[in-house]
């Protein structure tokens, strides 16, 4: 290859590299920052009476023979289930088994000295009086935990109403800000809508003995209220 051809090839390669590098150089430039963009947030809150009652009943057994302890737990749970199933209805009184555990007890020397176990039955539903009466009829287990919550139907209805209120408040705030800054209007760039989950409220401590309540005595219940909030936040582009 002659010296002249070599120079032409070098210039051609250099030009090609320059062309290929140009798009990369252009993309490396920072994008211009949008003007007239403001971040906003709005919310709507309501106090709602809880309509879902959760009761956990439990029993414990202990002894030197693991099989005997397990059998005692099963008998107590079977009897409680049989009583609960008499009144169980979908959505109103629903029943399911909970924790069922058996574990050894050890001496200071690491030798197994006995066994202890626990069984649980969970009752949940919107029939508050029915669940309260049921707890008084179950004699083989004691009340471990009581809590209240919002049912899915109640929560969805409340959230639907609050979402409409929060969005209306968000739009009103966007229009107010646009006017205050001297703009003619606005368009929404991005927006997020979310609702909080009502916190379950623990109502009663563990009752160690059934004698704490008379036989067939209904559990006293005060459902109380919970706060539900829907939040709307995002950014809007103010327009001339």
Percent of the chain past pLDDT 70, that is, above it, reads 78
* Higher pLDDT among residues 82 and 30, named by residue: 82
Kindly compute the dihedral angle of the four CA atoms of residues 59, 65, 70, 75, in this order, to the nearest 10 degrees. Answer: -70
Closest CA to 102 of 58, 57, 62: 62
- What is the Cα 127 distance to its own chain's centre? 23
Burial (CB count within 10 angstroms: exposed 0-12, middle 13-18, buried 19+), residue 102: middle
What does the DSSP 8-state code read for residue 126? S
The structural domains of the chain, with segments of one domain joined by +, span: 47-157+194-233
- Tell me what the pLDDT averaged over the chain comes to: 83
Question: Where does residue 9 rank: exposed (0-12), middle (13-18), buried (19+ CB within 10 A)?
Answer: exposed
pLDDT above 90 covers a percentage of the chain that reads 62
Could you give the count of Cα atoms lying within 13 Å of 130 in the half-sphere of its Cβ? 19
CA 199/CA 204 separation, integer angstroms: 16
pLDDT digits (tens, 9 = 90+) for 49-61: 899 999 999 999 9
Report which of 227, 69, 205 is spatially closest to residue 143, judged by C-alpha positions.
205
The domain 47-157+194-233 is placed in CATH, from the list 3.30.300.30, 3.30.70.2970, 3.30.930.10, 2.60.130.10, at: 3.30.70.2970
For the chain, give the longest Cα–Cα distance: 113
- Name the pLDDT band for 151 (thresholds 50, 70, 90): confident
Residue 77 — very low, low, confident or very high, per pLDDT cuts 50/70/90? very high
Tens digits of residue pLDDT in 193-213 = 998 765 554 444 444 434 444
CA-wise closest residue to 204 among 179, 223, 180: 223
Mean pLDDT of 182-188: 92
């Amino acid at each position: 290859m002659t010296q002249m051809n070599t120079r032409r090839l070098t210039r051609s390669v250099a030009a090609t590299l320059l062309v290929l590098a140009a798009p990369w150089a252009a993309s490396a430039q920072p994008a211009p920052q949008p003007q007239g963009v403001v971040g906003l947030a709005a919310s709507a809150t309501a106090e709602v009476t809880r309509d879902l009652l959760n009761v956990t009943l439990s029993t414990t057994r202990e002894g030197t023979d693991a099989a005997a302890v397990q059998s005692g737990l099963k008998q107590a749970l079977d009897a409680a289930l049989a009583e609960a199933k008499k009144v169980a209805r979908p959505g109103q009184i629903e029943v399911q088994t909970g924790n069922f555990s058996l574990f050894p007890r050890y001496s200071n020397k690491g030798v197994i000295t006995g066994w202890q176990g626990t069984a649980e039955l969970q009752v949940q539903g919107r029939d508050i009086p029915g669940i309260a009466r049921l707890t008084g009829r179950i004699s083989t287990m004691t009340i471990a935990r009581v809590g209240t919550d919002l049912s899915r139907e109640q929560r969805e209805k409340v959230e639907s109403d609050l979402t409409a209120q929060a969005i209306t408040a968000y739009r009103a705030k966007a229009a107010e800000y646009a006017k205050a800054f001297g703009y003619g209007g606005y368009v929404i760039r991005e927006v997020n809508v979310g609702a909080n989950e009502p916190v379950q409220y623990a109502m009663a401590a563990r009752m160690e003995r059934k004698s704490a309540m008379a036989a067939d005595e209904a559990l006293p219940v005060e459902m109380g209220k919970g706060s539900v909030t829907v939040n709307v936040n995002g950014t809007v582009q103010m327009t001339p």
